[in-house]
Structure 1
Amino acid sequence: MLTDPVDNSPHAVEWAAPRLLGAAMVAGGIGLIAAAAASGTDAAGLVLLMVAAVLLLGMGATSLLVRPKLALMGAPDDADGIRVRGLRGAVDYPRAAISRIRVIDLARFGRRVPHLEFDVRDGAGDDRLIMLGRWDLGTDPVEVANALRASGLRVEERLGKR
């Protein structure tokens, strides 16, 4: 089930991967399946193309179906907490359940990339760590952190040299 388009602007209250990129991945997966069908008797090529097709289709479908990935609960200027959507559905974390939100830099492919890290306590009382990057949010995690700050949530930064 697809939801309404997500506004990824700095003043947004929900964020998700761009719908167009998800659709492009699904189309690419279908194209790889067609290439695999046309590969003839090349068994190794068929296996490689099918694995790539399944991965592309899975990533594309996930980005289209799991929308929005992160949303503020409550008024944009006074959030009651956050909602994180995954494959098993949406989970609400009220303000009291959020231990820490911070922006961290992780090394990815030889460069530092910002991610949002949430330390939360779920309904069963278990601690969880949620990490969202640019792909999950559809925009720079630092901009999302600024929007979370503007909504009244406390966000720490642990950014390295860029």
Structure 2
Amino acid sequence: MNPDLPAPNSPADRLSWSTPAPALIAVAVGGVAMAVATFFAADGPSRLLVGLAALGLLAMAGLGFRQRPRLAVVAGEPPRMVVRGLLRPREYVPTQIVRARIVGYRRLGRKMPMVEIDVVDDEGERLLIFGRWDLGADPTAVYEDLVGAMRLSRDKTS
């Protein structure tokens, strides 16, 4: 083993992006506050609606914690891109990445950048889309880091 290279799975050979933990904690606290408010609601329909909103917030926070880190690149030969989903993480090598690009989507009257990655695996083709909430960082910067770390050629991206 070369002493100049970092040990496998050390932080030095891994880039990762995920929803910031403080944001997920704030969502969970909001869900708990709404769950408590459910008990103080005056009538049945109010309790139902506030309870469903509390359940939705708590589920969103739980899923956000479950998917951390959402996107990671692990150094190696070849480098691997790891995408964490609800069930299990999926790994992709550069030959499985068909295209990676930045796309602007209109949201709430503003154009928001998102990272789009087309991949091919045993189950077929997939389109992976990551926004600022998923990555916890500017999607444009993540795209640049991803292209560099995965050693993707610019002709594979658009």
TM-score range, shorter chain: 0.7 to 0.9
TM-score by length of 2: 0.84
Cα separation, partners in 2 of 1:20 and 1:141, compared to 1, 3 Å: same
Cα separation, partners in 2 of 1:91 and 1:139, compared to 1, 3 Å: same
Match of 1:133 among 131, 134, 155: 131
Cα separation, partners in 2 of 1:148 and 1:154, compared to 1, 3 Å: farther
1:57-113 Cα deviation digits (max 9, x unpaired): 1111111121100000225xx862311001011000111111001110001111100
Map of 1:80 onto structure 2: 79
2:25 is equivalent to residue 23 of structure 1: yes
CA RMSD in angstroms comes to 2.0
1:102-147 Cα deviation digits (max 9, x unpaired): 11000111110000111001223x0011101000000110010111
1:115–1:141 CA contact under 8 A, matched in 2:
yes
2:127 is equivalent to residue 109 of structure 1: no
> Residues of 2 paired with 1:21 and 1:73: CA distance?
25
What pairs up with 1:1-162 in 2 under 5 angstroms? 13-40=15-42, 42-75=43-76, 80-124=79-123, 126-151=124-149, 152-154=151-153, 156-157=157-158
Large movers: runs of 4+ above 4 Å: none
> Residues of 2 paired with 1:50 and 1:31: CA distance?
10
Please state whether the residue corresponding to 2:79 is helix, strand or coil.
Answer: strand
Unaligned runs of 5+ in 2: 1-10
> Residues of 1 paired with 2:22 and 2:107: CA distance?
24
1:101–1:154 CA contact under 8 A, matched in 2:
no
> Residues of 2 paired with 1:21 and 1:67: CA distance?
13
**Fraction of identical pairs, as percent:** 32
More helix by share: 2
> Residues of 2 paired with 1:57 and 1:71: CA distance?
25
> Residues of 2 paired with 1:137 and 1:123: CA distance?
25
Unaligned runs of 5+ in 1: 1-6, 158-162
